[in-house]
Amino acid sequence: MAPYQFIERPTPFNTKGGSTLPIFAVTPAHIETATIDPIALDWAKKAGYKADSGSLLLIPTAEGHLGGALFGLGTNPSEQPYITGTLARALPAGDWHIETAPLTANRLSLGFGLGSYRFDRYKSEKSPAATLMIPRDADGADINRQLAGVFLARDLINIPTNDMGPNELEAAFRGLAAHYKAEINVVSGDDLRQNFPLVHTVGRASADAPRLLELRWGKKGHRKITLVGKGVCFDTGGLDIKPAASMALMKKDMGGAANVMGLALMIMDAKLKVDLRVIVPVVENSISSNAFRPGDIYRSRKGLTVQIDNTDAEGRLILADALSYADEESPDLLIDMATLTGAARVALGPDLPPFFTDDADLAQDLMEASFETDDPLWRLPLYAGYEKDIRSKFADITNAPAGGMAGAITAALFLKRFVSNTKSWAHFDIYGWAPSERPHSPGGGEAQAIRALYHHIRQSVR
């Protein structure tokens, strides 16, 4: 398989002009009050069409050709703001435009775009897709950059580890940096031992060397934004090996890295006035004679010693060194993203990622950005009462507190130990995966929180 090219996807929008078929996006009230195109209304009544949410009814011409479509929004379209994503997968191939819809132009366009995603890299046959004429009053450039960031994250997560190991993830990272003329620095293999000892420890058992990737873009003096993403390309669990069922989706354990790369794409493409730094520790948590062991104690970049009580709690280890490195430059905003704990999924499920921060103003801004972009987030507490749980008898801290209670919080408290100079820090414990199809996603690898974060950062530097 050819190496992944991060910017290879065509736009789901029709940019050629010319003839397009109409879509009438309607609620049941439009049918009942006869406030749509008469020909479409007549066909809807003959077909018994009720405009249920996500329903599609193709409309023929008098000659028997395809003439358009009715698309149901249900009784409350605001409950599914990206319902038009369903159209991208349900419409026959061809060029379409939305004639009427009680949705904003940006919302309906972004919804269609998000839903148009297909992961067909390994399919022998690729079917043609429908395209949409983007409304004139939509911000097409910004919609397309958001889609590019989301699709990058989805692609990187979906590609299996045989084609997206540490070497390939580095190649994708370099491609992103080159496209936006960003500076890049990579430290790998035994060169990690002195300055990034925990990254080296976790990744040393893999045939692909561990590494730390760093990107810099923007102008000094602008708001200093640093993004850190967990890049575990595959997680066996190490010597505390996972059962087979738990290992099946571990190609997505680099979802934090994929998401910060998608967010960085949006920021750079929009040419935001920021001083951007992206740090991604990349490893494969493998099993070999030199794998790290339960009971081992290692010194981190920050100098804190960490006792290994479970080799399957490896993500926080590599993040610890990366966060220490990021924190040394005292950024204005430090964001880390990681597929870190099952506890976060138990608490909030796969679709609602929690975040942790001590900055109440930042938390409020992030929640407002979440609502404005319909990109779900929820704040969980950095409860100091659980600090005792990450203490170790023989080292400064443990990577796996006993008992398993409040696992997402104790993981966040562990990471907090490595952030001391940053003005504002937030940790996102994402799932990075959509277990089932939704209007704006066909399921599989998923971008989470990055549209809200992009919106927040964009607003903060205007």
In 3D space, the residue among 426, 420, 413 whose CA is nearest the CA of residue 460 turns out to be: 426
C-alpha 154/C-alpha 196 separation (Å) is: 28
Q: What tokens appear for 460 in the block? A: 């903060």
The secondary structure of the chain in percent helix, strand, coil, rounded to multiples of 5, reads: 35, 20, 40
- At residue 350, the 3 state secondary structure works out as coil
Question: Where is 85: in which H helix or E strand?
Answer: helix 85-90
User: Which amino acid, 38?
Assistant: P
In 3D space, the residue among 215, 397, 409, 238 whose CA is nearest the CA of residue 322 turns out to be: 215
Q: Hey, which residues does 69 pair with through a beta bridge?
A: 23, 58
User: Which amino acid, 106?
Assistant: N
Q: What is the DSSP letter of 193?
A: H
Q: What tokens appear for 281 in the block? A: 């520790």
Distance from the first to the final alpha carbon of the chain: 42
Give the residue numbers marked as catalytic: 242, 316
C-alpha 48/C-alpha 64 separation (Å) is: 19
CA distances (Å), 214 to each of 138, 252, 278, in order? 34, 21, 6
